[in-house]
Amino acid sequence: MIPARNEMINALEMRHGKELQERFSSATVAVCGLGGLGSNISISLARAGIGKLIRIDFDKVDITNLHRQQYKATQIGMYKTDALSENLKEISPYIELEAHTVYVNEDNAKDLLNEADIICEAFDKAECKAMLANTVLENMPAKFLISGSGMAGIASANTIKTRKVTDHFYICGDEVSDVSDGTGLFSSRVMLCAAHQAHMVLRILANKTKERRNINE
């Protein structure tokens, strides 16, 4: 049986405190890209009780996604937006979900992300990452942007960091590794980077960010 809404809220408040949970519950976070980073970010934020998630991806679930992305074998062939909605509702039945099964570009990004307080960039390709960063920083400077860069290979988990670039821009990852180098993608390391991004969302909402730039968060 699914717990009542107030039961779910009370359980979260027991873990996070009432004031902090109210901040989480009133926040809107956008996740751009629902692959290894984005699906894991979304799951973490749903578990934390974020009030609304805007999720954007044009792709479908493939068998090669299952080793690192938060999908099931029974969901192969479904749009990732639809499949992830199913999974998120099983975890957080009262979360508000908004899904856009589209390709994000310079022309539609502002409209898609207008309601978001914080934006998580979780694309695969470097050019898509750069496009979103440039678009957000130039046209939506008041919004927070958390980007992922470098989580390929089987190097030490300790090389995954969160770096503050500006007051509203953070980069998570080792900022070096690339799947194009032939190092592969491993679920544990991808999930570490996604956890850094999700945790940075919570730290921003909790007002726990530091003032100085170019330091580990």
Q: Is residue 212 part of a domain?
A: no
d(CA 17, CA 68): 31
Rounded percentage of the chain residues whose pLDDT exceeds 70: 96
Residue with the bigger pLDDT between 209 and 179: it is 179
Angle, helices 187-205/36-48, rounded to nearest 10 degrees? 40
SS3 state of residue 210 = coil
Q: How confident is the model over 157-180, as a mean pLDDT?
A: 95
What domain count does the chain have? Answer: 1
Residue 63 belongs to domain spanning? 5-119+131-205
Rounded percentage of the chain residues whose pLDDT exceeds 90: 93
Residue 217 confidence (pLDDT): 62
Residue with the bigger pLDDT between 212 and 13: it is 13
Model confidence pLDDT, tens digit, residues 87-137: 999 999 999 999 999 999 999 999 999 999 999 999 999 999 999 999 999
Q: How confident is the model over 8-16, as a mean pLDDT?
A: 98
At residue 215 the predicted structure's pLDDT band, cuts being 50, 70 and 90, is: very low
Residue 180 confidence (pLDDT): 78
Residue 138 confidence (pLDDT): 96
Helices (H), 50-186: 80-91, 109-113, 126-139
At a CB cut-off of 8 Å and minimum separation 6, what does 73 contact?
63, 66
Model confidence pLDDT, tens digit, residues 48-87: 999 999 999 999 999 999 999 999 999 999 999 999 999 9
Q: How confident is the model over 26-46, as a mean pLDDT?
A: 98
Q: Is residue 217 part of a domain?
A: no
Q: Is residue 103 part of a domain?
A: yes
At a CB cut-off of 8 Å and minimum separation 6, what does 46 contact?
53, 88, 91, 92, 95
Residue 179 confidence (pLDDT): 85
pLDDT at residue 189 greater than cutoff 50: yes
Q: Is residue 9 part of a domain?
A: yes
Q: Is residue 187 part of a domain?
A: yes
Residue 76: which CATH number? Answer: 3.40.50.720
Share the mean pLDDT of the chain: 95
